[in-house]
Amino acid sequence: MSDTALSESATAVPSTPSTAPTIVARGVTKSYGKTRALRGVDLRLEHGEILGLVGHNGAGKSTLMRMLAGIEQPDDGAVDARERRAGAAWNADSAAASGVRMVYQELALCDDLTVAENAALSDPRPTGLWGWRGRAEQRIGTALDTVFPGHGISVLRRTGELAMAERQMVEIARALCTDALSMLILDEPTESLGVDATAQLYAHLRTLTRRGVSVLLISHRMQEVLANSDRIAVMKDGTVVETFAAAATSESELLVAMGGEVRAAGADVTAPRAADLTAERGAIVATVRAASGISFEARAGELIGLAGLAGQGQEQLLNKLWGAGALSRGVTVPRRRAYVPGDRQTSGILPLWSVAENLTISAMRGISRLGIINGRAKRELAAEWIGALKVRGDAATPITALSGGNQQKVLVARAFAADAQMVLLDDPFRGVDVATKNELYALMKAEAAAGRCIVWYSTENSEMAHCDRVYVFRANRLVSELSGESNTEERIIADSFDENTGDQR
């Protein structure tokens, strides 16, 4: 299938009048036990528009998306789609038949299958017994080439071997492997993508909307939502509270509608429990000798950023620091370390456990004696961190019942509740709202001031302004070390692309 064929087949304009909305939610409610996730939501997605959807973690955004995609049914209210066949119930099958596709925040790929096999699993078209593999390889390859030129992903690789950014690209591309796409739902699609891939995605979305496809975009990256949406709907406490024309609003106006002004990024935060740190503030606690170029070192009390385009070696360095032992060559690390992984579903949360069990697992040494856990201390520790980070759910709540952003808060709390001298963070704010980000920035600064060494990788270059020093990566090499006035977003971007940068301090 050619690029043109993909664009035409995936964006067929419906025969119904273009003035009809693509999908409408009327009075939709949904409860999970005592938790009321949606409270009479009204939402209208117009033909060929990008509608941004914003709100703090737990506002109900992901629940509403599952309703619109037919994956879950509302307790009350209704969802009506332009392409729904007369008399058909709105469920996952009828939504797929109507051309609705969804890209999940928690990537829904099978790690043991190849890129092409994953695409074949979600392709609604019949495959037949013979030749299906070749067709799947061609379809997903064409989709990747169309949306993300120069992606470098082999469709024959297992998805479990791909970096997070590559997995995100595969998840997006396979949603486009369909004959008739009418609506695309994107839940935090750029949280793992680099600058180039993000720009490529939004350029392709505009190509889709010009052909009549409607896009529903959930993101905590306010500037992206403002720059790429036609309208923006704000959710708060399970309902849509206001809708703005994107060109006529601002980030501050959206934040106020979401629930008030957020606190300043430099606000003071006191950790619930001071860690027992033995390293003297300023002492070198970790080093990695590079084969060429700049060597990495980290000191107690420093907040160190790892920057550069996604997939350039930042995660490999974190893994090296996390997995190093006493006999590791070229690497020195403190004995007590904590790690917040980038893929919380695969490597982070323990899905069968409660919030308290997930949060306190790394702090067992401090809340047990002679191998026996102090239940009261465990409950108090969990309650303190749940309160400090405003986790929406009590200690006994199953971790899987929380929104993605609240799950991420628990993982960050787990790392800081331990007595680790070094905390490693792999893009920890993926899917976290603006207010929570500011709380966590302040927490990290407070913990560094108390003597912890924090090493932090982020796909957002602007976040590196919070760091004492920043190492920029390109092609699996450290190419520059920035601090003070040289630590700017412009310099990071320049060093990420400049092939003449490197071998300098």
Confidence of residue 414 (pLDDT cuts 50, 70, 90): confident
Helices 195-210 and 164-175 sit at what angle, rounded to 10 degrees?
10
Confidence of residue 143 (pLDDT cuts 50, 70, 90): very high
212-264 per-position pLDDT tens digit: 999 999 988 888 999 999 999 999 889 999 999 999 999 889 888 887 544 44
Residue 153 or residue 3, greater confidence: 153
Residue 175 or residue 393, greater confidence: 175
326-364 per-position pLDDT tens digit: 667 888 888 889 888 876 666 678 788 888 888 887 777
Buried b (16+ CB within 10 A) or exposed e, 388-419: bbebbbebebebeebbbbbbbbbbbbbbbbbb
Q: Would you state the pLDDT for residue 429?
A: 79
Confidence of residue 127 (pLDDT cuts 50, 70, 90): low
Any idea which residue has 């703090």 for tokens?
56
Per-residue pLDDT at 383 exceeds 80? yes
Within 8 A by CB and 6+ apart from 51, the residues are 45, 214, 215, 216, 217, 229, 230, 231, 232, 233
Residues 68, 92: Cα–Cα separation, whole Å: 9
Instruction: Work out the average pLDDT over 294-314.
Output: 87
Buried b (16+ CB within 10 A) or exposed e, 142-152: bbbebbbeebe
Residue 36 or residue 369, greater confidence: 36
Residues 220, 191: Cα–Cα separation, whole Å: 9
- Range of lowest pLDDT (139-148, 307-316, 343-352): 343-352
Residues 268, 28: Cα–Cα separation, whole Å: 39
- Domains of the chain in start order, with CATH, are 3-259 (3.40.50.300), 262-336+419-505 (3.40.50.300), 350-417 (no CATH)
Cβ(416)–Cβ(451) below 8 Å: no
For the chain, how many residues are written?
Answer: 505
Instruction: Work out the average pLDDT over 200-216.
Output: 94
Buried b (16+ CB within 10 A) or exposed e, 203-239: ebbeebbeebbbbbbbbbbbebbbebbbbbbbbbebb
The per-residue pLDDT of the chain, averaged, comes to 82
Per-residue pLDDT at 402 exceeds 50? yes
Residues 105, 186: Cα–Cα separation, whole Å: 8
Q: Per the structure block, which two tokens stand in for 30?
A: 């949904």
Confidence of residue 188 (pLDDT cuts 50, 70, 90): confident
- List C-alpha distances in Å: 118 to 107, 261, 264, 418: 12, 42, 43, 38
